[in-house]
Amino acid sequence: MMSYGVVSGAMLLCTGMLYDRTKTAAIDGYGGVANTMPRFAAFVMLFSMANIGLPGTSGFVGEFMVLMGAIRFNFWIGAIAASMLLLSAAYTLWMYKRVIFGAVANARVAALKDLGKRELVLLGAMALLVLAIGVDPKPFTDAIDPSVGTLLAQSERSTRPAEPAPADGSQHLQAATPAATAHTPG
């Protein structure tokens, strides 16, 4: 989830940077951005590759773990998840080609200025995080391991109730607070 947050945030930030400069969100309003914004194009390429799970990026770690978990649960669910990953990759590459490559599409794209210092630092920090997680995910997975272990232990202990809980929730609340029901005044 951390990888998803960083990569999605970076992609949305890049989209916002383009929108602020051109005032259009339509893909066909772009084309040839790499000719006017080469540093920006490199960052968008990195984030796009992380989005589709390229090895060495944080997206690969996340996609690999999700696919392995899905396949362990049910092979066909894993196969469907892998198919969706391929569709996502196709769309991301199609978008990148249409927006970044080719001839300069219009005067708005021709007038674009490449990243400023503040934008370069911000995207650079996000890029370093994407690469750090992709190259050495162990510190990040170790950090979430205790809470994931607790969640798994709780889910293994949980059982489905034999009878539905009362509509007013009184029995459910009493079961949740056994110490309060054991105490008798007096």
Helical ranges in the chain per DSSP H: 2-22, 33-36, 38-51, 58-73, 75-100, 107-110, 117-135, 138-157, 170-176, 178-182
Lookup: tokens for 145: 């391991």
Q: Which of 15-29, 103-117, 119-133, 141-155 has the highest mean pLDDT?
A: 119-133
Q: 34-61, pLDDT tens digit by residue?
A: 999 999 999 999 999 999 988 999 888 8
Per-residue confidence band for 162, with pLDDT thresholds at 50, 70 and 90 = low
pLDDT over threshold 70, residue 113: yes
Q: 56-99, pLDDT tens digit by residue?
A: 998 888 888 888 888 998 999 999 999 998 999 999 999 999 98
CA distance 44 to 51: 10
Of 141 and 119, more confident: 119
Per-residue confidence band for 5, with pLDDT thresholds at 50, 70 and 90 = confident
Lookup: tokens for 165: 């809980």
Between the alpha carbon of residue 93 and those of residues 5, 96, 183, the distances in Å are 20, 5, 64
Q: Which residues have CB under 8 Å from 52's CB, separation 6+?
A: 59, 85, 88, 89, 92, 93
pTM as predicted: 0.75
Domain ranges for the chain: 2-135
Give residue for tokens 């990759």: 89
Per-residue confidence band for 165, with pLDDT thresholds at 50, 70 and 90 = low
pLDDT over threshold 60, residue 177: no
